[in-house]
């Protein structure tokens, strides 16, 4: 993404066996809105009902979600922070405690989606090694570099949708959030959480709320002093005030959880080394204390990694 505006098409990367260009016929397809206007103009008008009959209830029209300026645009993160400060005073101390986020991704959409598939359920170093080797390989060589058969099938499905013109870098950038989520979840191996991370960290969409993400839910619990972690179904209402910059507020929730975990680890007392003791019971107690201390440290480190999708999907940020 770099310094490019998301309103412009992404430059296509160098030819790659899994990233074919869409057919020319796909670019010639008229926009859905133009089709809808022409279809409505061609329909015959219905005769008005008589005043004595009960009018039929009007159907609610579905209004597509409007996509704002990308967070990578100049001044957009500053505008988001000003809005969040004014809309939610509880968020102001969290904003003050951290440097502002940056939403710039150098990868075109296809490569970001490939990375999100490859990084699933792998440690960072292992996934990065696989990805660096993957870039130069053909589809037949995927298995030889450690890509599982299931992930290979996901990548093939993504490539087929690009080859057929169902997806392309240009139409991914142009789609509104709702349409994009519907299209990407049609790809095998890409779920709602991956789509949310892709929209935030690769496309810099400003108003994405990953309501099922545990880190954000725990951050909201901590921010508002709730007794329980809010359910995903409660998140829309709790975070309504953050619109239209819920992506930035979500980023601060991850930072809030990360900083609290670090503070807890720093405040934990260090267990001094046990002095030799003749009592076996005393030695057993010391061993149990050390084991408990190590277990807590492991849990805190795991919490930081688990709750921070930037760590989990480094290719998207």
Query: Residue 228: which of 214, 210, 208, 240 has the closest Cα?
Result: 214
Query: Residue 237: which of 201, 265, 272, 209 has the closest Cα?
Result: 209
- Residue 247 backbone dihedrals phi, psi, to 5 degrees: -65, -45
Query: Residue 245: which of 206, 210, 203 has the closest Cα?
Result: 206
Question: Distance between CA atoms of 63 and 36, rounded to whole angstroms?
Answer: 13
DSSP structure class, residue 207: S
Question: Distance between CA atoms of 203 and 71, rounded to whole angstroms?
Answer: 8
As a whole number of Å, the end-to-end CA separation of the chain is 10
- Considering the candidates 96, 157, 213, 228, report the single residue annotated as catalytic: 213
CB-based contacts of 316, cutoff 8 Å, min separation 6: 105, 112, 115, 116, 197, 198, 200, 201, 202, 309, 310
- Contact 283/274 with Cβ under 8 angstroms? yes
Name the one residue in this structure whose structure tokens are 């999100």. Answer: 116
> Is 228 a residue of the active site?
no
HSE-CB at 82 with a 13 A cutoff on CA atoms is: 5
Question: Distance between CA atoms of 27 and 208, rounded to whole angstroms?
Answer: 27
Catalytic residue list = 213
């Amino acid at each position: 993404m770099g310094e490019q505006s998301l309103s412009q098409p992404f430059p296509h990367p160098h030819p790659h066996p899994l990233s074919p260009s869409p057919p020319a016929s796909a670019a010639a397809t008229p926009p859905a809105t133009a089709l809808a206007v022409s279809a409505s103009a061609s329909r015959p008008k219905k005769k008005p009902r008589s005043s004595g009959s009960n009018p039929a209830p009007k159907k609610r029209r579905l209004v597509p979600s409007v996509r704002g300026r990308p967070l990578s645009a100049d001044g957009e993160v500053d505008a988001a922070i000003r809005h969040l400060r004014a809309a939610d005073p509880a968020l102001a101390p969290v904003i003050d405690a951290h440097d502002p986020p940056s939403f710039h991704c150098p990868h075109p959409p296809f490569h970001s989606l490939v990375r999100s598939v490859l990084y699933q359920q792998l440690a960072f170093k292992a996934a990065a090694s696989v990805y660096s080797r993957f870039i130069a390989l053909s589809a037949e060589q995927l298995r030889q570099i450690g890509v599982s058969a299931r992930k290979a099938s996901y990548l093939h499905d993504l490539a087929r949708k690009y080859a057929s013109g169902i997806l392309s870098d240009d139409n991914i950038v142009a789609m509104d959030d709702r349409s994009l989520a519907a299209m990407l979840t049609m790809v095998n191996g890409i779920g709602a959480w991956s789509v949310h991370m892709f929209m935030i960290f690769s496309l810099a969409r400003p108003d994405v709320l990953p309501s099922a993400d545990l880190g954000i839910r725990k951050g909201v619990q901590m921010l508002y002093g709730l007794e329980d972690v809010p359910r995903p179904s409660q998140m829309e209402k709790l975070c309504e005030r953050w619109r239209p910059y819920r992506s930035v507020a979500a980023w601060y929730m991850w930072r809030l959880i990360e900083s609290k975990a670090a503070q807890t680890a720093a405040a934990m007392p260090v267990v001094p080394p046990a002095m030799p003791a003749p009592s076996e019971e005393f030695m057993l107690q010391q061993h149990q204390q050390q084991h408990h201390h190590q277990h807590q440290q492991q849990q805190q480190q795991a919490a930081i990694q688990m709750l921070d999708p930037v760590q989990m999907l480094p290719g998207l940020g």
